């Protein structure tokens, strides 16, 4: 298995990925894996999210960006069936065409809808090895690969070096890798990441994000919430800009790089 992030192809100028012709992961002919419609979340009288529709094709990386409080976490939490507090949630979430909206979070996770939350999915008092021991009752299924510990180590060699350390002793970047590793061991169909770059050194930000490209190249569908638009736009196929819970603009990475709402507010007025 090739695990070198540097071997990941960059986006072509038309926003497509080289080597991804029709039918291959992420292309327009790939099946829609996740479909969200009419998703609304309100806390008391405040609408935190009001989303008409959003869909992801197999092998696609969709970035969701926006300022603090735009509703990014609310979106991935609602898709995963998680809630902070007691929001009112309505709308439909379909995974491979199956409506999972009525399922609690743990059943959506079993179905392959996995969220690595902000703050990660790591047990501080357990070693890296122990963190990478997940219940053995998940198995490969069409479109789902259950990673084993060795495969996680191939993807993130740093974790192998730190395998005896406690979760609490890891750096932010290592914890992020561990959280992603744990999610991969649960056989994701869709992997959602909430701000994976937070607190990471710039070198690690690109390494972690480019690993998402590697995973997408193997057919994994990824929803990436990021504040670091400059880094995210390098690895996503499409980007959605949220403001006050609504989609303001959406397009391919290259379209969005040229969109003034993205360029001026998030890329410092140019392509950087």
* Binder among 31, 52, 84, 218 for ligand ATP (CB under 6 A): 84
Choose one: 6-14, 17-25, 72-80, 230-238; the region binding ligand ATP (CB under 6 A). Answer: 72-80
Nearest-approach distance from CB 199 to ligand ATP, in angstroms: 13
Name the residue nearer to ligand ATP (CB basis): 84 or 271. Answer: 84
CA 125 to chain centre: 26
Name the residue nearer to ligand ATP (CB basis): 31 or 69. Answer: 69
Identify whether the C-beta of residue 82 lies closer than 8 Å to the C-beta of residue 127: no
- The site string for ligand ATP over 10-49 (x = CB under 6 A, - otherwise) reads ---------------------------------x----x-
* Binder among 18, 85, 97, 136 for ligand ATP (CB under 6 A): 85
Strands in 98-99's sheet, in edge-to-edge order, are 46-57, 32-43, 88-95, 98-99
Binding status of residue 88 toward ligand ATP by CB under 6 A: no
> In terms of DSSP bridges, do strands 238-243 and 246-252 run parallel, antiparallel, or are they unpaired?
antiparallel
Identify whether the C-beta of residue 64 lies closer than 8 Å to the C-beta of residue 226: yes
Identify whether the C-beta of residue 91 lies closer than 8 Å to the C-beta of residue 37: yes
Choose one: 55-63, 66-74, 130-138, 231-239; the region binding ligand ATP (CB under 6 A). Answer: 66-74
Tell me which residue of 253, 270, 224, 242 sits closest to 47, measured CA to CA: 242
Binding status of residue 107 toward ligand ATP by CB under 6 A: no
Residue 253 DSSP code:
H
How many of the chain's residues bind ligand ATP (CB under 6 A)?
A: 13
Name the residue nearer to ligand ATP (CB basis): 39 or 185. Answer: 39
Q: What is the 3-state secondary structure (H, E, C) of 72-135?
A: HHHHHHHHHCCCCCCCEEEEEEEECCEECCCCCHHHHHHCCEEEECCCCCCCCCCEHHHHCCCC
Q: Centre a 10 Å sphere on the Cβ of residue 178 and count the other Cβ atoms it contains.
A: 27
Beta bridge partner(s), residue 193? 116, 224
Nearest-approach distance from CB 25 to ligand ATP, in angstroms: 27
Residues in the chain: 272
Choose one: 63-71, 160-168, 181-189, 229-237; the region binding ligand ATP (CB under 6 A). Answer: 63-71
- Residues in region 212-231 near ligand ATP by CB under 6 A: 227
Name the residue nearer to ligand ATP (CB basis): 13 or 86. Answer: 86
Q: Given 3-state DSSP classes, what are the helix, strand and coil percentages for the chain, each rounded to the nearest 5?
A: 30, 25, 45
* Binder among 26, 63, 66, 173 for ligand ATP (CB under 6 A): 66
Name the residue nearer to ligand ATP (CB basis): 163 or 246. Answer: 246
Binding status of residue 69 toward ligand ATP by CB under 6 A: yes
Binding status of residue 71 toward ligand ATP by CB under 6 A: yes
Binding status of residue 196 toward ligand ATP by CB under 6 A: no
Residues in contact with ligand ATP by the rule CB under 6 A: 43, 48, 66, 68-74, 84-85, 227
């Amino acid at each position: 298995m090739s695990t070198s992030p540097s071997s990941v192809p960059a986006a072509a100028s038309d926003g497509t990925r080289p080597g991804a012709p029709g039918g291959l992961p992420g292309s327009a002919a790939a099946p829609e894996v996740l479909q969200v419609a009419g998703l609304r979340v309100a806390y008391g009288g405040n609408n935190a999210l009001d989303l008409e529709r959003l869909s992801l094709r197999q092998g696609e990386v969709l970035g969701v960006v926006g300022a603090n409080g735009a509703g990014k976490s609310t979106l991935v939490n609602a898709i995963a069936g998680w809630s902070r507090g007691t929001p009112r949630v309505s709308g439909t979430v379909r995974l491979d065409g199956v409506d999972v909206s009525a399922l609690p979070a743990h059943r959506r996770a079993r179905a392959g809808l996995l969220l690595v939350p902000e703050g990660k999915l790591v047990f501080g008092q357990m070693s890296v090895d122990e963190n990478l021991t997940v219940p053995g009752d998940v198995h490969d299924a069409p479109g789902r690969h259950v990673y084993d510990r060795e495969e996680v180590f191939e993807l993130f060699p740093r974790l192998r070096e730190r395998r005896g350390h406690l979760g609490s002793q890891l750096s932010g970047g290592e914890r992020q890798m561990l959280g992603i590793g744990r999610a991969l061991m649960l056989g994701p169909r869709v992997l959602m990441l909430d701000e994976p770059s937070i607190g990471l050194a710039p070198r690690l930000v690109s390494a972690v994000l480019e690993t998402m490209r590697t995973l997408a190249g193997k057919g994994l569908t990824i929803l990436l919430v990021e504040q670091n638009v400059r880094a995210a736009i390098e690895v996503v196929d499409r980007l959605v800009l949220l403001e006050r819970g609504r989609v303001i603009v959406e397009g391919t990475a290259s379209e969005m790089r040229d969109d003034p709402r993205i360029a001026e507010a998030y890329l410092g007025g140019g392509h950087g």
